[in-house]
Amino acid sequence: MSEYAHDSVRLVPAHGDARGRDKAKQEKWLIYCPAIASDTLLYLITQHDSYSLRSYGGRLGVNTAGQHAQGASTTKQFMETYKPDLYKETSWMELTVGESARWADKIEREWQKYREEHGIE
């Protein structure tokens, strides 16, 4: 199991993932969730009450495997516990296997915009 520690919050491997499910019902977001990663945006995919988090930078590094936040196994639990800022809907940005560097670059540019818009140093 990959462990990504940040202020006593861990991301843990998600059981199952969105592959093979109905892609039309997925929602994809860049989110700001300082309880998990205060130095980058995370990539959130939700489908019904399942979710997956991915990291492409910051202290968590690049981790494209689907993860859950500790103590939140459903989308509802994650949203209520961690209260992320749903910054930008990203269903138009398709993630292709092997393109993590491209995604890390895009997310870093979005992170810089987010920081400027929200006064984060």
Mean pLDDT of 62-74: 85
Residue 12 has pLDDT above 60, yes or no: no
24-27 contacts, C-beta under 8 A, 24 or more apart: 26/91, 27/89, 27/91
Q: What digits encode the pLDDT tens for the residues 14-45?
A: 544 444 445 558 898 999 999 999 999 999 99
Alpha-carbon gap, residue 10 to 4, rounded angstroms? 5
Q: What is the 3-state secondary structure of 29-57? A: EEEEECCCEEEEEEEEEEECCEEEEEEEC
Contact 119, 79 (CB under 8 A): no
- Segment 107-112 shows an average pLDDT of 93
**What is the rounded average pLDDT of the residues 86-103?**
77
Is the overall model pTM greater than 0.85, yes or no? Answer: no
pLDDT at 97 over 80: no
Longest dimension (CA), the chain: 40
Sequence spans of domains, the chain: 4-116
Q: Is the pLDDT of residue 48 over 50?
A: yes
